[in-house]
Amino acid sequence: MNWNFFNLIFFAFFLAISCSKNRNETIIKGNIPNLPDGTLYIFKESMLNKLDSIPTSNGKFELKYKNQSNIPEYIGIFHIDKKNVKRVFGFPTNVPKWGSSVFMTDPLIEVYGSIAEYKPTNIMPPKDVIFVYSPKLKIGEQTTAFFNSGDPIFNFDDATPSIINIIENKVKQYPFSYYLLDKINENKNSFAPEQVDKFLKLFKGEITQSTTFKNLSAYNKKRYTEKNTSLPSLENISGEKSAILDSKYKKHLVVFWASWCGPCREEIPLLKNIYSKKDESLEFISISIDEDKNAWKKALNEEKMDWKQFIINGKDPNYEKIQMHFRLNGAIPYTVLLDNNSKILRSTVGLSSEKDLLDFIDDKK
């Protein structure tokens, strides 16, 4: 037997196993001279979701995080010193006027150089919380794509040709980017199905085998036949299923909300005011995406909205049909105006002012 050949095969197998084990590992290293001694925490998506921690000394630290998924995650760091002062990290990007509190789980993230304090806009932090910018980072390809694309390009009410062109060029530049795939998936109903197909064809490599890519492809295929699918009935406050739209009205204002959504609750007094003065040809409808029916019913009892109320969530088999028909991407409050043929006239995301909502309803707009 050729033992050299056997050893070579064994070594290759061992190397493949080792690489597979370390593939989803992120090492976060730091050398920040003006960081006080204390504890560094790593979190996923939100600082409330802490993953791990490590003591810091002389501004130096090294922390390993094992991602249990093959899909890159969004993680960040914050620090609490020995005086219990919390430092919340922000990171510079290459997108004008946009910074990020998270990066992605590349194999190596290095944070180095002195941190600088800054005051965030529209936030009044407690006295024991300091916001700091890290001036220098060494990052991998996923974070590079993230920091060179950024949320601003997806901050739109209407996917105009210029916005679509920007997104296409970003995907061509970063065809491996899970961030871009995530954002296209989040906003899928803002694009025509033909456009989503065009986006999908631009991605290359292992990302095309990801669950997100496959699910988006499957969802988008269904959109081509959505026009031939009837709108499902939904559960109302009495626990009965009934039709969403009443054909006797000329127009329908549909508001998607949830009991836990602060801006949604803030908008309700405005909706009530406009409802009390609305034209009789306009139907008001609210659809909650609450998973907890009791929380929904409690909110309805508190808010006392005198128009049609429905509930549905992502676990309901009909949720996809609702998503497709109303072009719901998930961000709420989401408001849609339809004509009496169930055609969407316009839509908007976010908290509205009275003027904005009146203009939104206006036939002439």
pTM metric for this prediction: 0.80
Is residue 255's pLDDT more than 60? yes
Is-contact 337 246, C-beta < 8 A?
A: no
Using CA atoms, how far residue 186 sits from 2, 123, 174, 212, in Å, is 55, 26, 18, 10
Here the tokens at position 124 are 């009044």
Is residue 32's pLDDT more than 90? yes
Using CA atoms, how far residue 182 sits from 7, 76, 93, 270, in Å, is 43, 18, 18, 33
What confidence tier does 104 reach under pLDDT thresholds 50, 70, 90? very high
**Tens digit of pLDDT for each residue in 62-83?**
999 998 888 899 999 999 999 9
Residue 177 CB: number of other CB atoms within 10 A? 25
Is residue 107's pLDDT more than 60? yes
**Tens digit of pLDDT for each residue in 215-236?**
999 999 999 887 766 789 999 9
**Tens digit of pLDDT for each residue in 168-220?**
999 999 999 999 999 999 999 999 999 999 999 999 999 999 999 999 999 99
**Tens digit of pLDDT for each residue in 331-350?**
899 999 999 888 889 888 88
Length of the chain in terms of residues written: 365
The widest CA-to-CA distance across the chain, in whole angstroms, is 91
Burial of 3 (0-12, 13-18, 19+ CB in 10 A): exposed
- Candidates 305, 300, 308, 290; CA nearest to 243 is 308
Whole-number pLDDT of residue 15? 39
What confidence tier does 54 reach under pLDDT thresholds 50, 70, 90? very high
Look over the chain and give the mean of its residue pLDDT values, rounded to a whole number: 88
Is residue 13's pLDDT more than 50? no
**Tens digit of pLDDT for each residue in 127-175?**
899 999 987 899 999 999 999 998 888 888 778 899 999 999 999 999 9
Roughly what angle, to the nearest 10 degrees, separates helices 161-173 and 178-186?
A: 150
